[in-house]
Chain A
Amino acid sequence: MSFEKVAFEKDSSRALKDKKLRKALVSVTDRFRAARERASAQVGDWNELRTRGREIKKETIENLDKYLIMLEESVKRAGGEVHWAGDAAEACETIIGIARDGEVSSVVKSKSMATEEIELNSAFERAGIKVVETDLGEYIIQLAGEHPSHIIAPAIHKTKDDISLLFSEKLGIPYYAEPEELTKAARERLRSEFLSAGMGVSGANFAVAETGTIVIVENEGNARLTTTVPKIHVALVGIEKLVPRYQDLSLFLTLLARSATGQKSSTYVSFTTGPKRDTDTDGPKEFHLVLLDNGRSAILSSEETRESLYCIRCGACLNNCPVYRQVGGHSYGWVYSGPIGAIINPQLMGIDKAPELPFASSLCGACRDVCPVKIDFPKVLLDLRKQVVDKKSGTNRVGWHLFEILGIKFWRIVVEHRSLYEAANKIAYYLQTPWKKGNGNLDSLPYPLSRWTNERDFPQIAKKPFHKRWIRIKRELGEGKNKT
Chain B
Amino acid sequence: MSKRSREEILHRVRKGLATVKTPALVPPDSRDFSKEAKAVIKSLRNNQDNLVERFVTEAQNVNTSVMRAKDSKKLIQSILRLVKEKSLKSFALWDTAYIKELGIKERLKEEGLKVVTVKNKNRIAKADLGITEADYAIADTGTLVLLTDKDRPRGVSLLPPIHLAILRPENMVSNIRDLFILLKDRIDTSGDVKSCMTFITGPSRTADIELNLTLGVHGPKELYVIIS
- Write the residues of chain A forming the contact surface with B, with a CB cutoff of 8 angstroms: 24, 27-28, 31, 55-56, 58-59, 62-65, 68-69, 78, 83-86, 90, 93-94, 134-137, 140, 153-156, 159-160, 163, 179-180, 182-184, 186-187, 190-191, 195, 211-213, 219-222, 224-225, 227-229, 239, 244, 246-247, 249-251, 253-254, 263-277, 279-283, 291, 293, 297-301, 303
Contact = CB atoms under 8 A, between A and B. Distances in A.
Contacts of B148: 280, 283
Contact of B179 (A63, A250, A300, A301): A250
Nearest to B179: A250
Given A179-B210, A180-B214, A272-B196, A191 B5 contact: no
13 contacts: A59-B23, A63-B23, A85-B5, A90-B1, A136-B206, A183-B214, A224-B218, A251-B177, A264-B141, A265-B201, A291-B9, A300-B12, A300-B17
B184 A190 contact: no
Given A224-B158, A246-B187, A282-B155, A267 B200 contact: yes
A272 B195 contact: yes
B227 interface: no
Contacts of A94: 1-2
A229 B121 contact: yes
Given A183-B209, A273-B196, A282-B118, A86 B204 contact: no
A136 B217 contact: yes
A298 B211 contact: no
A182 B149 contact: no
B135 interface: no
Nearest to A180: B214
B117 to A, nearest CB: 9
A31 B208 CA distance: 13
B26 interface: yes
B70 interface: no
B73 interface: no
B138 interface: yes
Contacts of B118: 281-282
Interface of B: 1-3, 5-6, 8-10, 12-20, 23-26, 31, 33, 58, 62, 118-119, 121-122, 125, 138, 140-143, 148-155, 158, 176-177, 179-181, 183-184, 187, 193-212, 214, 216-220
A153 B208 contact: yes
B9 A31 contact: no
Nearest to B181: A247
Nearest to B119: A281
Contact of B13 (A58, A68, A221): A68
Contacts of B119: 281
Contacts of B158: 221, 224-225, 228
A56 B26 CA distance: 6
A274 to B, nearest CB: 6
A43 B221 CA distance: 29
Contacts of A85: 2, 5
Nearest to A287: B195
A58 B22 CA distance: 12
B149 to A, nearest CB: 7
A59 B15 CA distance: 17
A249 B184 CA distance: 11
Contact of B143 (A59, A222, A265, A272): A265
Contacts of B184: 246-247
Given A63-B23, A160-B209, A265 B138 contact: yes
B208 A136 contact: yes
B216 A187 contact: yes
Nearest 8 A/B pairs, CB to CB: A221-B219, A300-B16, A221-B218, A137-B208, A297-B12, A269-B199, A62-B23, A281-B153
Contacts of A78: 193, 195
A137 B206 CA distance: 9
A238 to B, nearest CB: 12
A179 B197 contact: no
B216 to A, nearest CB: 7
Nearest to B138: A265
Contacts of B24: 55, 58-59, 62-63
A154 B208 contact: yes
Contacts of A268: 198-201, 204, 219
B13 A220 contact: no
